[in-house]
Amino acid sequence: MTARASFIHDLESKATCGQITGGIDMVSAYAGARCFLVARYDHYSDRNHDFIVTSNWPFDLVRSLGVELVDAQARTAEIVRCQQAFEPTFLDIDADIDLPQDLSRRVCMIPYNVGNARMLLALLFDEGAFLSHDRLRDAALAAAYHTSHFNDVTLSSDALSDLTVREVECLSWIGEGKTSDEIALIIGISRNTVNNYITSIMNKTGAKTRSEAVAFAVRQRLI
């Protein structure tokens, strides 16, 4: 197995090559995996966004398993996402999903953060491969380091960050625990208008609840 110091040195050189795939391939090999997939799951609710960043999984496997994994991660509560960051978890792959020969039917998922971006590293291993928890955590940290060099991957899209002044104002009052009726009274607009603002906020941020929308605004330092 590749020595840690040598791996870090080689990975640093990959960051200057302009392509994310080479570095993630190196991260995957360091963890002892045969196949890798990296996705940005905080963009998953925006189906116009290409949330699969890079992968060497077969296309059919990305479509069947990769999308399922990203969907499950995107539905995880924000507090749970923070607790699970950089910690590997394992999921057994359904028997009806075809895998390349000799691959284990357990997928390793490691969520990691790069600034405001929420990323997922999903690894597939050969059957019987030895897995080291420390190596898997190191791999996630290395993936975060490498990903951070690619602004096109980690920056918020215009749709996610383009909140209006009124929408930010509504979010700030939601963060204070105010209801739609209370917000309407405070800022002098109708309750329906407040709810329209909130609907727009949900669409732009991909949040499923008001709490998630507030958490997004806090991460973006909007409130």
- CB-CB contact of 36 with 123 (8 Å): yes
Alpha-carbon separation of residue 113 from 18, 84, 103, 104, 124 (angstroms): 20, 10, 28, 27, 21
Rounded-to-integer distance, Cα 156 and Cα 150, Å? 12
Both structure tokens of 95: 């028997």
User: Given this model, what pLDDT does residue 48 score?
Assistant: 42
Query: Can you give the residue ranges of every domain in the chain?
Result: 4-154, 158-219
User: Given this model, what pLDDT does residue 220 score?
Assistant: 66
CA 38, 80, 55 angle in degrees (round to 5)?
Answer: 5
**Does 221 score more than 70 pLDDT?**
no
172 contacts: CB under 8 Å, gap ≥ 6: 217, 223
pLDDT tens readout for residues 33-85: 999 999 988 755 544 445 888 999 988 888 888 888 888 887 777 777 778 88
DSSP state of 202: H
What's the whole-model pTM score?
0.69
Mean pLDDT value of segment 166-183: 90
Domain 158-219 has CATH 2.60.120.10: no
Mean pLDDT value of segment 122-149: 93
Which residue in 47, 4, 45 sits closest to 27, CA to CA? 4
Rounded-to-integer distance, Cα 63 and Cα 177, Å? 40
pLDDT tens readout for residues 1-44: 678 888 888 888 887 776 789 999 999 999 999 999 999 887 55
Q: Which residue in this structure is represented by tokens 């923070």?
A: 82
Is residue 60 within a helix (H) or strand (E), and if so which, with residue range?
helix 59-61
192 contacts: CB under 8 Å, gap ≥ 6: none
User: How many Cα atoms sit within 13 Å of 90 on the Cβ side?
Assistant: 10
User: Given this model, what pLDDT does residue 204 score?
Assistant: 79
- 3-state DSSP assignment of residue 208: coil
User: Given this model, what pLDDT does residue 223 score?
Assistant: 73
Q: How many CB atoms lie within 10 A of CB 91?
A: 15
User: Given this model, what pLDDT does residue 49 score?
Assistant: 45
pLDDT tens readout for residues 97-119: 888 889 999 999 999 988 778 89
Which conformational region is residue 188 in: left (phi greater than 0), alpha (psi within -120 to 50 degrees), or beta? left
Domain 4-154 has CATH 3.30.450.30: yes
Give the alpha-carbon dihedral of 64, 37, 136, 156, to 10 degrees: -110
